[in-house]
Amino acid sequence: MTRLDWAEIQLGYRFQNSALLQQALTHRSASKDNNERLEFLGDAFLNFAIARRLYDLRPLDAEGDLSRLRAYLVRGTMLAELARGLGLDQQLIVGPGELRAGGARRETVLANGLEALIGGILLDGGTAAADGCIDRLFATRLAALPVADTLKDPKTRLQEWLQGRGCGLPEYTVESAVGEAHKQTFTVVCSEPNGGRSSRGRGTSRRKAEQDAAQQLLDSLIGAHD
């Protein structure tokens, strides 16, 4: 199966300019004529297209809720999941160095490749073609959107829970950071204000450790008030 045939079957669109498809599938490790510029274009169009659909689908949602839903739909893990479903990892062109690092199996490479394909379709067939591709890709996800409040990160939900009960803001303290600079594991303590309950969280960045600690403290507080 040629790449043109693959794109038509999986994306519902046949490229008129095969060189544009080739560029969309080429990682920067493989060529100077790569997909980074198409990724930039596809990312911008995808964000607009999803925002427009959410605006129509959720007429009562506030701006913050719409923003959380859009971030949920266009996040890297979601795009990589969609890309794997298309078999994009088998079509991407990557250089030897990137191949040794995981190549087309890496989440960021897959997500960027999918955005580049959307950008390529936009240039090759116009907005209607790109819109049709996005509809095809996201139909199932758009039909099963979660409640926006459930998409708030743990730190935000903990803060809102405490403030809703007249408490102050939680406090975060880095207890340790172990490992080499680019491979550290952080341990963070999250505490209620005024010496209340506390919890520990761990993660590969300070932010992830704080989110983990916040989730654990929130679970503990909610359990205590059930």
Query: Which residues form the catalytic set?
Result: 43, 115
Closest CA to 196 of 175, 157, 165: 165
Rounded distance between C-alpha atoms, residue 72 and residue 212, angstroms:
19
Closest CA to 134 of 49, 25, 57: 49
Query: Which residues, 6 or more positions from 54, have their beta carbon under 8 angstroms from its beta carbon?
Result: 61, 66, 69, 70, 73
The phi, psi pair for 174, rounded to 5°, reads -75, 115
Q: For 142, how many CA atoms within 13 A lie in the half-sphere containing its CB?
A: 18
Closest CA to 139 of 42, 5, 49, 66: 49
Which helix (H) or strand (E) covers residue 189, if one does? strand 185-191
Q: DSSP assignment, residue 26?
A: B
Tokens of 145: 């959107």
